[in-house]
Structure 1
Amino acid sequence: MFWVGFEDVATTARRTPTVGHSALRTVAWRDSDPVNDEYMRGEFDVLKAIIGDLRDRGVVASDDEALAYLERVLREWSADAEIHVTLRESR
């Protein structure tokens, strides 16, 4: 599971829930261990950091636009895997 809040990578991002604001991506398993899990986590962390930077620079106008972009890119990169994105509004 990947948390899709941007407050940890962008000073301009609003606070987002830590529960129910995430992306789930299928992982292949071999001998009871996830295969390429570190690669997928690194890929996600870099993508999130870049989008956070774009958010701070004003290239991405809002958190909603940043999340939509993140979801689109994750789906493109996960063409061979199942991905579920759940976004819960901040209260």
Structure 2
Amino acid sequence: MGHRALLAYRRDETDRADEPAETESAPDRASDDGPTYDLHRSHWGAADFALADRIRADSPFAADTAFAVDPDPVATGVTLADAVANYVDFLHHEAFYRVETDYETTPFHVLWFGLDADSEAVDRSETVGNGALVEARAVDDTDADFLRGWFRGTKAVVGEMVDRGALAPDEATDCLAARVCAWAGDREVFVTE
């Protein structure tokens, strides 16, 4: 099955200067002037956030490890907001990494807002564009296990609220987003809109 990760490598601003406003790989590119990224996949990169300290200038795709990143990009020239909304599969990606131009790497937990297993009233939830990324501070099992357990419990309660009619499914998503942001505190969080 693997431990799939999606990685966003920040593009050097000189790479952007020669790029047209819209490319075939990023048709819905955001119009803001924020930094853009190239997206890459790793089949095993989410295992214990293994890539957090393995991506370096001398090995930008961690090719010398079992967690290697595919050097062929999935998409190029996308903003982080676009990546979160249109490329992260919150059910299938277990980790997300932001890689800066100096190869400083920030790992993120991937949390899917789908309530398929938590609510009898919800038949199917989108997997892309339906969740949150939460910065992983301590890249260890304790932090990840606590967050996963807390989030499973939170989803169970929200799913029960949907089944009892206290929340509509779209309100449940807003509730999950608010709870994740509150839990995260000063950690960086990206929530889909």
Moved beyond 2 Å, runs of 4+:
none
- Cα RMSD after superposing both structures: 1.6
Whose Rg is larger? 2
Gaps of 5+ in 1: none
How is 1:67-86 mapped onto 2 (pairs within 5 angstroms)?
67-86=173-192
Gaps of 5+ in 2: 1-109
Q: Report the Cα distance in structure 2 between the residues aligned to 1:69 and 1:17, rounded to whole angstroms.
A: 17
Q: Report the Cα distance in structure 1 between the residues aligned to 2:135 and 2:142, rounded to whole angstroms.
A: 10
Q: TM-score, normalised by structure 2?
A: 0.40
SS of residue paired to 1:36 = helix
How is 1:46-65 mapped onto 2 (pairs within 5 angstroms)?
46-60=153-167, 62-65=168-171
- 1:17-49 residue CA offsets vs partner (Å, 9 max, x unmatched): 22232211000145xx45511101111110001
The structure that is helix-richer by fraction is 1
Q: Percent same amino acid at aligned positions?
A: 32
Q: TM-score, normalised by structure 1?
A: 0.81
User: Which is bigger in relative contact order (C-alpha 8 A, separation at least 6)?
Assistant: 1
Number of matched pairs = 84
